[in-house]
Chain A
Amino acid sequence: MKKFTVLKGIAAFMPDINIDTDAIIPKQFLKTIHRKGLGKSLFYNERYTEGYNKNVDFILNKDPWSNSSIIIAGENFGCGSSREHAPWALLDFGIQCIISNSFADIFFNNSVKNGLLLIKLNKNEIQKLSELAMKKESFTVDLINQKILVKNNEINFNVDPIIKDRLIHGYDDIEITLKNKQLIVDYENNKNKFHIWKNIVYEKQ
């Protein structure tokens, strides 16, 4: 996984609340069997009119936001279906950080696992940042020092230390878990002893 330390870039402000994963990447793009290549279809329904004809009013079709690496979004971003294609599409487009008042649970987990940083801020801070984003200011997201810097503004943010550690080092989850392999084996042995009924014995109908 790619390491995340300091990100510099442009931020697009998308004020709608409840931007769901269907809006982020509509279902017709879920038929892929690979992780890459979804960025082109990110926000497809709003970003394009027919085929891949650009909707010129959509923020990611306007310069300089077509090169955004940050999104500032309305609350409850990423609600809806659990598709991990949502963070894949965002990352493939080039978005590496999303700032919102709140995120949907599954989307939050999916994002962290793929190296996408999600930052929760209060409404005043979001208001402030959205104004700066609309002025096309350049943003610096410093994960190491947990600060967002824009012009003369500095906003501190919280991040779970484990998530921070993982993003900074680009750790893979499975690798971390397998360090506890013996504990898993012990659990399974216990299960066989005390909850044998949980095991599956399949009988043909």
Chain B
Amino acid sequence: MDTPKTLFDKIWGDHVINQTNKNQYLLYIDRHLVHEVTSPQAFEGLKLNKRKVRKPELTLGVADHNVPTTLRDQGINSIKDKIAKLQVETLEKNLSENNIKYIPLTSKNQGIVHIIGPEQGFTIPGTTIVCGDSHTSTHGAFGSLAFGIGTSEVEHVLATQTLVQTKPKNMRIIINGKLKKNVTSKDIILKVISEIGTAAGTGHVIEFSGSTILDMTMEERMTLCNMSIEAGAKAGLIAPDNKTFDYLYGLPFAPKEKNWELAIEYWKKLVTDKGAIFDQEFSFNIEELKPFVTWGTSPENGIAINEKIPDPKQYNNLEKRQSIEKSLNYMGLKAGDSLKDISIQKVFIGSCTNGRIEDLRAAANYIQGKKVSHNVQALVVPGSGLVKKQAESEGIKEIFLEAGFEWRDPGCSMCLGMNPDQLASGERCASTSNRNFEGRQGRGGRTHLVSPITAAASAIKGFFVDVTEESL
């Protein structure tokens, strides 16, 4: 009998073209997503070396990172920042010169690259998917091996449709139990990262499994895989099942008819074999999990909403202690503070972590009929045009607008503050995004990562709320 394989080993094995070095392989890349920020220098490189794009049909482009979230109907003219505009123009030019499909700013399908991939059925199980953005791990929710790459690698994929990669190790995170009401997959991943740290996954692909994962919707799975990169991992992975197939059926880029059947036949084999060995394994039970909030400037600085901010003195490791002191100082917080007493000025609901329809639905549902605190500016930025349209048709837009939220056009927005949506120095934000690094949402801005329900509830109250305890 063959040695039992992990899901990751199967996908990897199926894409190896040859071995180039001890633990290095030339891998075939099935799908490539490009956006305006990490691609211009790649196309520049191709041109300088007189190289062509090998398989234009396997690449899809969209502008999302630096685009404004207002006045979208004006298309590229909505971008007032000249350099940002040039970047988007460069993307459009490069894609059209190389016959690569592009979703224009004015298209109803435009959105954050990791949201449109799945929505368009570009993301499918059993494939390798890359993009010049670390949150490419999102697509692993479909049982595809998806990871972020740098611009030189973008150039390499464009020119060769391959990448040279070191084979990562296998990690499994098993999650069991039924979540409490209003606790979400965002809370799970923040909890996991707070336990295992941001370096635990380095050099690994994490497969998530367990009863909680089986119960999750595709969107919840995407949130989980999205943040596996914050645990240091190369990629996150979840075995495809009927939910995956139902989600993809009939989408524009998904296989059709006979090909769909062939695909399903193959996809059903994409599971970790019994007895397969993982290099590392963790297991969590989330029955009692409370909503999570980060207090520092690393995604691992998370605590349950009812816990107190930790005291740096309790850490013996000097570096760790200093880094916590530095974080607290930046965040304007003290050891022993309760998160529930901390007031916020901004709320951001959106990003490739939590900018999907279920996120908006859950948040809107929780705050229906309430008003945003007068001290708070709250933004809802749907992850894509399709999410926006869906939300509008369900009346979600109205709920947010009546409550005093701003309803924006799709893009990365305040997740990274490359467009005009930014925090001012010292401003505190409850954000559904994935990174709370210093200055991530604007210089001096203070980011607390939370779920969409916690973010929305906090917008109403003006400070962090335990959404499992209080109703508004």
Residues of A within 8 A of B (CB): 15-18, 20, 22-23, 26-28, 30-35, 45, 74-76, 79-84, 102, 104-106, 109-110, 113-114, 160-162, 172-174, 176-178, 180, 183-184, 187-188, 191, 195-205
A45 to B417, CA, bound (A): 15
A65 to B373, CA, bound (A): 49
Interface residues in B136-155 by Cβ distance below 8 A to A read 148-153, 155
Q: Are B437 and A20 closer than 8 Å at their CB atoms? A: yes
With contacts A35-B41, A110-B150 known, is A17 near B319, CB below 8 A?
Answer: yes
Stretch at the interface among B82-90, B271-279, B455-463: B82-90
Question: B289 an interface residue at 8 Å Cβ cutoff?
Answer: no
Q: Are B28 and A22 closer than 8 Å at their CB atoms? A: no
B173 to chain A, nearest CB (A): 18
Q: Are B198 and A174 closer than 8 Å at their CB atoms? A: no
With contacts A45-B439, A180-B17, A201-B256 known, is A106 near B148, CB below 8 A?
Answer: yes
Contact of A180 among B14, B26, B263, B323 (CB under 8 A): B26
A157 to B49, CA, bound (A): 34
User: A196: nearest residue on chain B (CB-CB)?
Assistant: B259
Q: Are B263 and A197 closer than 8 Å at their CB atoms? A: yes
Residues of chain A within 8 A of B155, CB atoms compared:
174
Contact of B439 among A26, A34, A74 (CB under 8 A): A26
Contact of A174 among B51, B133, B323, B439 (CB under 8 A): B51
Q: Are B150 and A197 closer than 8 Å at their CB atoms? A: no
Interface string of B84-121 (1 = CB under 8 A from A): 10110010000000000100000000000000000000
Contact of B134 among A26, A34, A45, A81 (CB under 8 A): A81
A66 to chain B, nearest CB (A): 23
Interface string of B400-438 (1 = CB under 8 A from A): 000000000000000011100000000000000001011
B330 to chain A, nearest CB (A): 11
Q: Are B440 and A22 closer than 8 Å at their CB atoms? A: yes
Residues of chain A within 8 A of B133, CB atoms compared:
81-82
Q: Are B232 and A113 closer than 8 Å at their CB atoms? A: no
Q: Are A202 and B418 closer than 8 Å at their CB atoms? A: no
> Interface size bucket, B side?
35 or more
Contact of A202 among B24, B160, B253 (CB under 8 A): B253
Q: Are B199 and A102 closer than 8 Å at their CB atoms? A: yes
Q: Are A27 and B87 closer than 8 Å at their CB atoms? A: no
A62 to chain B, nearest CB (A): 20
Question: B75 an interface residue at 8 Å Cβ cutoff?
Answer: no
Top 7 A-B pairs, shortest CB-CB distance: A33-B40, A84-B150, A110-B150, A197-B263, A113-B152, A197-B259, A84-B151
With contacts A183-B17, A184-B162, A197-B263 known, is A203 near B437, CB below 8 A?
Answer: no
Q: Are A184 and B152 closer than 8 Å at their CB atoms? A: no
A139 to B150, CA, bound (A): 30
Residues of chain A within 8 A of B20, CB atoms compared:
162
User: A46: nearest residue on chain B (CB-CB)?
Assistant: B438
Contact of B26 among A80, A114, A177, A196 (CB under 8 A): A177
A172 to chain B, nearest CB (A): 8
Interface string of B151-172 (1 = CB under 8 A from A): 1110110011110100000000
B170 to chain A, nearest CB (A): 15
Contact of B232 among A15, A83, A104 (CB under 8 A): A104
A110 to B198, CA, bound (A): 19
Residues of chain A within 8 A of B156, CB atoms compared:
173-174, 177
B304 to chain A, nearest CB (A): 23
A114 to B156, CA, bound (A): 13
Q: Are A33 and B160 closer than 8 Å at their CB atoms? A: no
A187 to B416, CA, bound (A): 38
A160 to B199, CA, bound (A): 21
With contacts A31-B66, A84-B38, A203-B252 known, is A162 near B28, CB below 8 A?
Answer: no
A15 to B320, CA, bound (A): 12
Residues of chain A within 8 A of B310, CB atoms compared:
none
Q: Are A23 and B437 closer than 8 Å at their CB atoms? A: yes
Q: Are A79 and B164 closer than 8 Å at their CB atoms? A: no
Residues of chain B within 8 A of A17, CB atoms compared:
319, 323
Between A and B, 20 residue pairs with Cβ closer than 8 Å are A27-B417, A31-B37, A31-B84, A31-B86, A33-B40, A45-B439, A80-B437, A82-B149, A106-B134, A106-B149, A113-B150, A113-B153, A174-B155, A177-B162, A187-B28, A188-B161, A195-B266, A197-B266, A198-B30, A205-B252
Q: Are A202 and B132 closer than 8 Å at their CB atoms? A: no
Residues of chain B within 8 A of A184, CB atoms compared:
17, 26, 28, 160-162
With contacts A84-B152, A113-B150, A201-B256 known, is A177 near B86, CB below 8 A?
Answer: no
Q: Are B17 and A187 closer than 8 Å at their CB atoms? A: yes
A36 to B308, CA, bound (A): 46
Question: B18 an interface residue at 8 Å Cβ cutoff?
Answer: yes
Question: B58 an interface residue at 8 Å Cβ cutoff?
Answer: yes
Contact of A197 among B260, B323, B416 (CB under 8 A): B260
Question: B71 an interface residue at 8 Å Cβ cutoff?
Answer: no
